[in-house]
Structure 1
Amino acid sequence: MNGAGGRALVRALGVGALGGVVAQGLGLPLAWMLGPLLANLAASSRGLDVRVPEGLREALLGVMGLVLGSRVTPQLAERVLDWPLSVALLLAGVLASTAVASAWYRRRGFDPVSAWFAAAPGAMTAMILTGEKCGGDPARIAVSQSLRVVLVVVVLPPLFWALEAPEAEVVTAPARQPEALWLLLLLPVVIPLGRRLRLPTPALLGPLVVAGLLSGLGVASLTLPGWGMNLMLWVLGSAMGARFRGLQGASLGRYLVDAGVATALALAVLALFAEAIHQGLGVPRDVALLALAPGGIGEMAILAVALDLDPIYVAFHHLVRVVVLMVMAPFWASWLRRRRRSAPVPRDSGPGGGL
């Protein structure tokens, strides 16, 4: 890391620490994620150079993956049999929420391609790249996707807190011997392995799979003390907020309105499908909503662990959603290209016409 990058990291963590202290003083839920996130979002939008290196972010996502995988127990297999129905409802909800959110983006002046790919609830990188290949606006898609993730992270914890949702029935792995900390030594191996296997969010899912196997077999599991979890949330929250360098003033306000309404619409639609999962399968309402929420897989896994809301169930459903979106994106792109080619071209109405 060069000198400028080091100073930017110190600023990001300093701003994040201030935000965390304020959020904790206000009694906000997940204070050490929301406080650093909002403080760095405000700082970056005002032009302050705040950055968290991708390598540091990935390392902490890897630790989170180990913690998440350590929740796997042999008893989990009994509950997996109920998941195909909830996955079907998830995919129906993804289709419905994408249609509703894209209709809103069209009303806000997005072209059809940008509207659809901005509204897709997940697989951010794939949506940006595929949308650009189809002729969409990559900047609009990227900002809309990023703001959606941030808005979901900001909205859900206070929502659960305000509604005083009952505590979920979480399947947790019992704490094992302290030497389970040796799992941290696996990160330099399992994160690159996740990349080679082309896993979505490899820094999270590579460690998750390995820790899940070890925990499920009763070999070892990793748990963190409260201060360790808050340390991770502080850095990861700062990283999320620092994404928006260069997006300032009126531009940020306009994008926030666009993404805010689209996210609210998507959440409302997905909440209906979450309620169907709750009523039909007995999954706690807050767990079902978090499993269907239109956030990123890494961010939603962090929330699930921090809120103690059945993180394996949540992560599995977000993984399915991301994989399906990535598989469907090329077919979706092909359909949009054919639709664009078959659309009638407006005739020029004479000199100066067609404007």
Structure 2
Amino acid sequence: MSRTLAGHTALSLAVGLIGAGLATIAGLPAAPLIGAAITTSAAAWAGATLAVDTRVRDVGFLIIGLSLGSGFQADILEKAGSWVLSLAILCLSIFATLMIGKWLMQSLAKADRETATLASAPGTMSMAIAMAVEGRGDATRVTVIQSMRLLMLTAILPLALVGTDASMADAAPQPSIDWLHLCLLALAGWVCASLIKRTGFPAALLVGGMAISALAHVFGLVHGTPHPWLQFVGYCLIGSVIGSRFSGITLAAIRREAGSTALIVAVAAIVSAIFALCVSVITQLPIGQIWVAFAPGGVEAMAAIGLAMGFDPAYVAVHHLARISFLTLCLPLVLKR
């Protein structure tokens, strides 16, 4: 890590930690994630040069992945069988969000077809921005809208879920995994993530950590979750990563795309909420849990929100991984139309 990058990373984490602390004191839901994301975004908008080294970022992803895996129990296969309908409706929700957003961006925001498609993609932000940078649509416009979408959903969704039929307060506290087993899980998760990275699948550290932790919990090799303060660090890191994405994006660009961003976020939130309500009525699962699982934010942020809010981490994680997989296949096909 160069001295410059180390300095930017240290500044990003310091700003994020301050925000996480203030949000925790204020008693906000998913406080470290929301607080870190908002303060680092504000600092970036104010002109601070922020960045989080990928190796540091990956530590946060791994921590959250290990925490998510602790929600997988021996009855996971029985549970997963009841999720088939929910996963099918999720795919319909994703396609509806993408097509409605694309149509509105072209009709109201006067975006070209490729820009409208990539800006409306409900997730896989890195993939959408990468495609735009490679010459598919307006890269600046896609970057601003996708970054603002993730920040707004991260900040607003936990607040909207307060008072729903499942919450962190209802969840029984779990013991902390002892340090030896935690280190072994982290090492195995890192190795698993290295293999996943070769496939090009997003969020490799989160998926790798979750997969190893899930297997260990399902087979009864370990019990409990990573220490609460370690999870706090993971949330803070992810929030800082979200906010640091705005470094180099001018306020003028953000103001210019404010209307388009509000449009995309509203479409994404409303469509996902409608489909989540349908699933809740059919399956009797908690509406809050389903909405987090259907919400079109980044898999790391949405999985972290579900974990922080006390929802079933296995349900949330499986649905977001399915969303990424569906979009990875669907987005290039929609672009070709």
Q: TM-score, normalised by structure 2?
A: 0.91
Residue 71 of structure 1 corresponds to which residue in structure 2? 71
Q: Is 1:81 paired with 2:74?
A: no
Closer, same or farther: CA 60–208 of 1 in aligned 2, 3 Å: same
Alignment of 1:1-355 (within 5 A): 1-106=1-106, 107-131=108-132, 135-161=136-162, 163-167=163-167, 179-181=180-182, 182-221=184-223, 223-335=225-337
Change in 2 beyond 3 A, CA 1:76/1:197: same
- Cα separation, partners in 2 of 1:55 and 1:317, compared to 1, 3 Å: same
Residue 108 of structure 1 aligns to which amino acid in structure 2?
A
After TM superposition, the runs of 4+ consecutive aligned structure 1 residues lying more than 6 A away are 168-174
Q: 1:138–1:122: structure 2 CA closer, same or farther, 3 Å change rule?
A: same
Query: Is the CA contact (8 Å cut-off) linking 1:66 and 1:207 kept in structure 2?
Result: yes
Per-residue CA deviation, residues 5-28 of structure 1 (Å, 9 max, x unaligned), is: 222122212222322233234332
| Contact 2:121/2:331, CA 8 A, preserved across alignment | no
Task: Give the counterpart letter for 1:30 in structure 2.
Answer: A
Q: Shift in Å at residue 228 of structure 1?
A: 1.9
- AA in 2 matched with 1:45: W
Corresponding letter in the other structure for 1:149: L
Identity of aligned residues (%): 28
Q: Amino acid of the residue matched to residue 5 of structure 1?
A: L
Query: Is the 2:119–2:142 contact (alpha carbons within 8 Å) kept by the matching residues of 1?
Result: yes
Q: Which amino acid aligns with 1:42?
A: A
Q: 1:171 to 1:282 in 2, by over 3 A?
A: farther
Secondary structure class of the residue paired with 2:52:
coil
Instruction: Tell me: CA distance 1:326–1:227, structure 2 relative to 1, closer, same or farther (3 Å).
Output: same
Instruction: Note the C-alpha offset of 1:332.
Output: 2.1
* Aligned-pair Cα RMSD in Å: 2.3
Q: 1:177 to 1:245 in 2, by over 3 A?
A: closer
- Higher mean alpha-carbon deviation, 237-246 vs 181-190, is at 181-190
Larger Rg: 1
The whole-number CA distance in structure 1 between the counterparts of 2:261 and 2:132 is: 17
How far apart are the structure 2 equivalents of 1:303 and 1:323? 20
In structure 2, give the amino acid aligned to 1:142.
Answer: T
CA distance, structure 2, for counterparts of residue 183 and residue 166 of structure 1: 29
Contact residue 71 and residue 172 of structure 1 kept, 8 A? no
Q: Distance in 1 between matches of 2:88 and 2:331?
A: 18
| Mapped contact 1:73–1:173 kept (Cα < 8 A) | no
CA distance in 2 between counterparts of 1:316 and 1:329 reads 20
1:334 to partner: Cα distance: 2.3
Q: Deviations over 1:130-180 (max 9, x none)?
A: 45667411222222222211111111111112x454338879987666542
**Unmatched segments (≥5 aa) in structure 1:** 336-355
Q: 1:257 to 1:21 in 2, by over 3 A?
A: farther
Q: TM-score, normalised by structure 1?
A: 0.87
> What's the CA shift for 1:275?
0.4
How far apart, in 1, do the equivalents of 2:172 and 2:277 lie? 21
State the aligned residue count. 334
- Letter aligned with residue 75 of structure 1: D
The 10-residue stretch of structure 1 (260-269 or 101-110) with the greater mean CA deviation from structure 2: 101-110
C-alpha distance in 2, partners of 1:129/1:43? 25
- SS of equivalent to 1:244: coil
Alpha-carbon contact 1:97-1:269 (below 8 Å) kept: yes
Q: Does structure 2 retain, via aligned residues, the 8 Å contact 1:274–1:292?
A: yes
Q: Is the CA contact 1:45–1:252 (under 8 Å) kept in the aligned structure 2?
A: no
Q: Distance in 2 between the 1:173 and 1:332 partners?
A: 44
Distance 1:83 1:4 in 2: 47
